[in-house]
Structure 1
């Protein structure tokens, strides 16, 4: 049997014996074959050790858990044999300890507990414990565990936290969602009113039926019908599944057989019914998938479909449509005896807290799902453990528990996966005037584009269409003209993009067919980042000046927010041959950085060529764009586009091939004496 390997290429050491190479995964950890057999045997014959039994039954031990000095637990010499003898909690300690050192736990570990806010606020005479922490190396590594009690257990009077649901389709969860929905629709002022009569329905929806008529079917609402509906955001996956086509649409209008639907669609229907609604929009069933005309038409109104939905169901962990989302993954849980303050014996459940980074989840790596999340005024995130509510007022809300910790859960941070669009996007009444804070709106747009370009697309030509819904909403707010990913009023600053340097080992080959003009970030594959642009009086006379821009959409009858077949940008600029610009000096003095739009992949090493070669310098031009701001205090830098003449075109027609950032003070002077000229970039 082969060993398991880490991403670094090093073999994984068995988490159980800490000596052999891991060969098998057991309870999400790598173990060797010998230890795997021990673990399986222990799992079949669970029996708590005496030390674990005493944690919540021995008054002194419980006091030590809550003290500043904590409770000294056994080391590896105690925990490993105890785990082999069937102690579930010791097995959790042994396998889930985040300390990667094979030599951990030489003597003893520390175990301590924390109480809930409810207990602290009430001043009760008992301690409402909601978490315990296992530390194999003080101040270094902590295994966080949640403590909960079932509602019908005697311990529930003293332990307020409840276990995670084993099924996310329970009446309790649906009732909670309905309460959140009612509160949002009646008391929140920064989202659409649930009872507004003006919100039209999509072209097609799935009618999930009623108690009297439980059959489901594809339904085309008449233009006069105004009703609430749910939208679904999910990952398709690679395997084929039932879709609406020109050949079966009439059949789907008559009835849809539940048994033929993938599990995610079935779960979505069950959730719609559970929330008391009748209609749900699912793209694969509500768009005719083999009709380019219908797809283009529906993509053009995608912004409205999600922004007008009552709520959007988002399947966070389902990697494909066959996975479903209502059956959460089971957790390894230890049941410990609990002596209640009134003397009655109960029990509590202890399980390892899970740390989740939503950015690493499949759905958050799918390009289409970004706008589906951002445009929805209300979102239900179905994770593999729970349901999270999102709206403009509460970007991150869930039932009170300590079972899961989310990375970057503060929605005010740009890096947070819970961050929402500005409230103005969901408040049409406030859109009568130009934006009050243009700088904030443009900064939000930049962060969205940077986030979006990190995500994957199955169809390369969707780079602009998959963001068209967000673009449409921003256009309503900005009152601005849009060209292939850039806004007219901020065109020069928005040209200051380059391939991100945060992932130097990633290689993205050139596109096989045309997608966007070279001045647009949509012309390349992979993530981009924006450079900070500043106003400069000293370099203002050589800064690029926007004259005009045109783009030609693939579908002339639709707005030019989606797929395009050509684009031309006209600028008044100062430009010099690259061999006579600071770009040439950068190669020798390393006083600047050139980031190429098309990557060069060498035989070895990272694919990104950082400094220009002499051969390339002879072929290109350096066009001063604007001054920027580095991260080195207040130091400014100059930003310039690296251009190349387009063969077969007039002398004034160029294509962008990169961006140069120079760090030397005043190195914009080579452009100062150059005669200004008008050029076109395609």
Structure 2
């Protein structure tokens, strides 16, 4: 196929197309602004002609694949959605589940970090969250093909998506809205700004990415957006790779009791709860304790020399708790009191550091700050982790008075609102 060949944008309204129409859908990473896209100004011109040689390499490779397979139609979001028309964006986003679900196949250019990279070259295997909407077939032009079935964990999809470069930070929820809509239809679960209500507290157990290796640059570069995008308890509220600590291996995990009393999502437009949030809150009932600090501090002042991860160390009732800020801005919070919301406990019964033949326990939860003085409204600024040796019950009473008891003495069942 010559680069001088022409393409055209087809306006499909359902009246002139056959039910047997076949198309491919392209899933790819924008990696910044796309040089060729449909706007109000280019819409008519694109319906007339789109020179193939003007397409970025990833789009061009997708055209080659379609031609090779004898499939006439190709859906590309940058070209098939009018990018500066909010009404068209909302309308087309609502149809994205069907676009991927009923496509003959989805071409996932998941090894590319931008629209310029292309994908028609030999490489290793890949996976991508968009496969969740098309489980019948996936295509790669190397020797390896990987399918992602509908049973794939939502947490894996979030991790994959946030680990990869996103086109625009503001598109975080919108980018996964099609997957979320399909997941909602399949499971009946209630969607809450990137989380599923029925999965709480598990859904709250996220942190700001994998541990940073020595020599790999800044420890913490995640940012909070200037404009509101999602509530603080949602992974979509920060720009960083996300990992879930409840999936850690090698320990017996127990989720602490946490009740969701109510939840509210206010979309920025009608039916926009999957992709555009104006405000949101959770009302929870769980184990909370205040962590008074002797003097107002900045969290970053408590960094350790650990080469793998930056965190803050705070001593609470004789127990060292590590605090992991969610974003760069959270490191500079000047606070005199934190709140810990307990979420999980791990039993490392065979951990080598165990003492007195007891149980080695790890406790994790959210770090909160008050939004208003003397109120029960908080926002999330990070998560904490603390490790405690629980002594054997056969020990003398004076040894049973372990520091872990003091640590938990101040936890109380409490109803709070997270925003």
Relative to the length of structure 1, the TM-score reads 0.48
Out of 218, 221, 245, which is 2:12 matched to?
A: 221
Q: Are 1:521 and 2:249 an aligned pair?
A: no
Residue aligning to 2:413: 676
Spell out, residue by residue over 1:63-112, the C-alpha distance to the aligned partner (whole angstroms, 9 max, x if none): xxxxxxxxxxxxxxxxxxxxxxxxxxxxxxxxxxxxxxxxxxxxxxxxxx
Q: 1:506 to 1:575 in 2, by over 3 A?
A: closer
Greater strand proportion: 2
Residue 597, structure 1, aligned to residue 326, structure 2 = yes
Shift in CA distance, 487/267, structure 1 to aligned 2, threshold 3 Å: closer
Following TM superposition, by how much is the alpha carbon of 1:535 offset from its aligned partner in structure 2, in angstroms?
A: 7.1
**Which of 417, 421, 434 is the equivalent residue of 2:149?**
421
Contact 2:24–2:107 (Cα < 8 Å) also in 1: yes
User: Which structure is higher in RCO with an 8 Å CA cutoff and minimum separation 6?
Assistant: 2
Structure 1 residue 640 displacement after superposition:
2.8
Q: Could you say if the C-alpha distance between residues 631 and 300 of structure 1 is closer, same or farther in structure 2, counting changes exceeding 3 Å?
A: farther
Equivalence for 2:263? 549
Pairs aligned (count): 365
SS of the aligned residue for 2:9 comes to strand
Tell me by how many angstroms 1:594 deviates. Answer: 1.8
Partner of 2:337: 619
5+ unaligned residues in a row in structure 1: which ranges?
Answer: 1-168, 170-213, 330-355, 365-369, 389-395, 398-417, 424-440, 602-607
The residue that corresponds to 2:400 in the other structure is none
**CA distance, structure 1, for counterparts of residue 190 and residue 33 of structure 2:** 40
Partners in 2 of 1:286 and 1:357 — Cα distance?
30
Once the two structures are TM-superposed, the CA of residue 454 in structure 1 deviates from its matched residue by 1.4
**Which segments of 5 or more consecutive residues in structure 2 lack a partner in the other structure?**
214-218, 294-312, 352-358, 391-403
Q: What's the CA shift for 1:651?
A: 0.9
TM-score normalised by the chain length of structure 2: 0.74
Structure 1 equivalent of residue 276 of structure 2: 563
Quote the offset at 1:235 in angstroms.
Answer: 4.2
Shift of 1:310: 0.4
1:492 to 197, 201, 219: 201
Q: How large is the RMSD of aligned CA atoms in angstroms?
A: 3.5
**Cα offset for 1:315?**
3.7
| Cα distance in 1 for residues equivalent to 2:154 and 2:260 | 20
Dislocated runs of 4+, deviation >6 Å: none
Partner in structure 1 of residue 165 of structure 2: 456
Contact 2:108 2:140 in 1 (8 A): yes
Mapping 1:472-483, distance limit 5 Å:
472-483=181-192
* TM-superposed deviation, 1:294: 1.3
Contact conserved, 1:548 with 1:570, CA < 8 A, in 2? yes
Q: 1:548-568 CA distances to partner (integer Å, 9 max, x unpaired)?
A: 11111122233x111212111
Could you report, residue by residue, the CA deviation over 1:417-447 in whole angstroms, capped at 9, with x for unpaired residues? x351236xxxxxxxxxxxxxxxxx6xx2222
CA distance in 1, matches of 2:94, 2:405: 43
In the TM superposition, residue 481 of structure 1 has moved relative to its aligned partner by: 0.7
1:586–1:593 contact (8 Å) kept in structure 2:
no
Larger deviation, residues 658-667 vs 253-262: 253-262
Change (3 A) 1:588 1:237: same
The whole-number CA distance in structure 2 between the counterparts of 1:550 and 1:300 is: 21
Structure 1 residues 630 and 520: alpha-carbon distance in aligned structure 2, compared to 1, 3 A threshold: farther
**Structure index of larger Rg:** 1
Question: Which residue pairs with 1:585 in the alignment?
Answer: 315
The 5-angstrom pairing of residues 239-318 of structure 1 reads: 241-315=35-109
